[in-house]
């Protein structure tokens, strides 16, 4: 087993980007390979996307077995505007993360402002 870096890694997607977008642009396999390789170093991986409930099905298509229990998704399942969803994200994230050490990572600077609010 790898030495754990933190209890949770929270990955904040680029503003407006979903797992569906990753899938449609051919990025899903490449991006998931990176995070799958990081998973042994964290207790949990929490993906914060801007997609709807279909992002959960897409996540199920790439993560299976024991890893699936350690990977969760926060998405815009209620179909809010991006502005309202971003306002709600800190509370949604804190409820999901719980106690322990957390690293928050954004994919690009375009997701960094949201990531900072989650700390």
What are 7's two structure tokens? 């209890």
Question: Mean pLDDT, the chain, as a whole number?
Answer: 90
The percent of residues above 70 in pLDDT, for the chain, comes to: 91
Spatial separation of the C-alpha atoms in residues 79 and 76, rounded to whole Å: 6
Task: Identify the pLDDT of residue 111.
Answer: 57
Compute how many other C-beta atoms are within 10 angstroms of the C-beta atom of residue 2.
Answer: 9
pLDDT beyond 90 at 117:
no
Yes or no: say if 10 and 93 are a contact pair by the CB < 8 Å rule: yes
Joined together, the tokens standing for residue 71 give: 């990977």
Q: Which residue has the tokens 């949604």?
A: 92
pLDDT digits (tens, 9 = 90+) for 74-107: 999 999 999 999 999 999 998 998 889 999 998 7
On the question of pLDDT at 115 being above 80, the answer is no
């Amino acid at each position: 087993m790898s030495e754990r870096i933190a209890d949770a890694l929270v990955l904040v997607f680029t503003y407006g980007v979903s797992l569906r977008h990753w899938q449609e642009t051919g990025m899903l396999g490449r991006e998931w390979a990176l995070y799958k390789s990081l998973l042994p170093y964290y207790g949990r991986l929490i993906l914060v996307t801007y997609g709807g409930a279909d992002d959960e099905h897409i996540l199920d298509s790439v993560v299976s077995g024991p890893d699936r229990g350690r990977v969760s998704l926060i998405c815009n399942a209620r179909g809010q505007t991006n502005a309202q969803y971003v306002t709600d994200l800190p509370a949604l994230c804190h409820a999901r993360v719980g106690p322990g050490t957390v690293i928050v990572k954004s994919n690009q600077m375009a997701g960094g402002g949201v990531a900072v609010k989650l700390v």
